[in-house]
Amino acid sequence: MDPVSALGALLADPRYEVAPTAGVLDAPDEFLRDLPAGATVTVTAAPSRGLGVTVAVAEELAARGFAAVPHLAARSVRDRGELAEHLDRLAAAGVREVFVVGGDAREPAGDLPDGLALLRAMEDLDRRPPRAGVPSYPDGHHRIADDVLWADLRVKQFHADYTVTQLCFDADLVGRFAGEARRRGIDLPVIAGVPGVVDAARLLRLSVRIGVADAVRFARSHRSTAGGLLRGGRHTPDELVQGLAATGCDLAGLHLFTFNQIEPTVRWLSEARRTAA
């Protein structure tokens, strides 16, 4: 596929990621008003909030006609009974897809230490939704060795339907990851995770949180963008998305990390589509 066609395909039907902050449930009309009707919206999970909040936001999204995709964090689940309750609530709300992660909790709350354990538990409980996604890490993981990440993804492909690459600013690196996955016999569709339009402070904080080396590498390889961020500007996805289209790698779509700044990201997408048409 040529770069122009590839760009159009990437922009066609992206996923939007939101965090389940108090404002989402307290004022859903205001928070969700800028999302395109029927969009796929993923809801993150955080140890401090608990999975119940993630599930509640997914229920709200589903009730409003969105394709809700809650993140289920294995290390936040106390036991299989709690997992079954969450899955039953989601099924009753019409949620047909989940995104399974290990989670950020330092210690597991129960006997599910990682995403693979949770995937298998859903199957054991006979409550697996029709679709399940898992994360992948083109830029590595600051606490997990690369060989472990590849081994896990190779096994997870038998329990999942796709993978979303986690925060990465390097299009070539994402392309090499997608190619390496195929060489390793991993056939999961790869959806590229891309930061949306976001202010400097949020993006830099997250870049540092996922590993100082990642943030330093980003600053060195994207000096003009990093300089703009440090001066208080905004990051836009144009350069990264165009780079992804130019790599010619086999990507199944875009996953936009909105950091709850939905309106500017949606506006950027509309403008990018017009430019690519």
Give residue 250's pLDDT: 87
Stated pTM of the model: 0.91
Task: Place 198 in a pLDDT band, splitting at 50, 70 and 90.
Answer: confident
Mean pLDDT of 77-91: 97
Q: pLDDT per residue over 143-157, tens digit each?
A: 889 999 999 999 999
Contacts of 273 (CB under 8 A, 6+ apart): 8, 11
Domain 3-197+236-270: CATH architecture, name and number where available: Alpha-Beta Barrel (3.20)
Contact 52, 79 (CB under 8 A): no
The pLDDT score that the predictor gives to residue 25 is 81
Encode 219-249: b = buried (16+ Cβ within 10 Å), e = exposed.
beebeebbeebeeeebbbbeebbbbbbbbeb
Percent of the chain past pLDDT 70, that is, above it, reads: 88
Closest CA to 141 of 111, 121, 168: 168
| pLDDT at residue 264 tops 70 | yes
- Check pLDDT > 50 for residue 212: no
| pLDDT tens digit sequence for 10-41 | 999 999 999 998 778 888 888 899 999 999 99
User: What mean pLDDT is reported for the chain?
Assistant: 89
Cα→Cα distances 140→64, 168, 174, 177, Å: 36, 9, 11, 10
pLDDT for 228 equals 52
Question: Is the per-residue pLDDT at 231 higher than 60?
Answer: no
DSSP 110: S
pLDDT at 233: 75
Residue 266 half-sphere exposure, CB side, CA atoms within 13 Å? 17
The CA distances from residue 8 to 154, 167, 256, in Å, are: 30, 21, 15
Is a pLDDT exceeding 70 seen at residue 125? yes
What pLDDT, on a 0 to 100 scale, did the predictor assign at position 215?
45
* pLDDT surpassing 80 at residue 220: no
- The pLDDT assigned to 138 comes to 94
pLDDT of residue 213: 42
Q: Which tokens sit at 181? A: 């996955």
- Return the amino acid letter for 257: F
Structure tokens at 53: 């909040």
Domain boundaries, the chain: 3-197+236-270, 199-235
**What is the mean predicted confidence (pLDDT) over 79-108?**
96
- For residue 21, give the nearest of 36, 7, 32 by alpha carbon: 32
Distance CA 155, CA 30 (A): 41
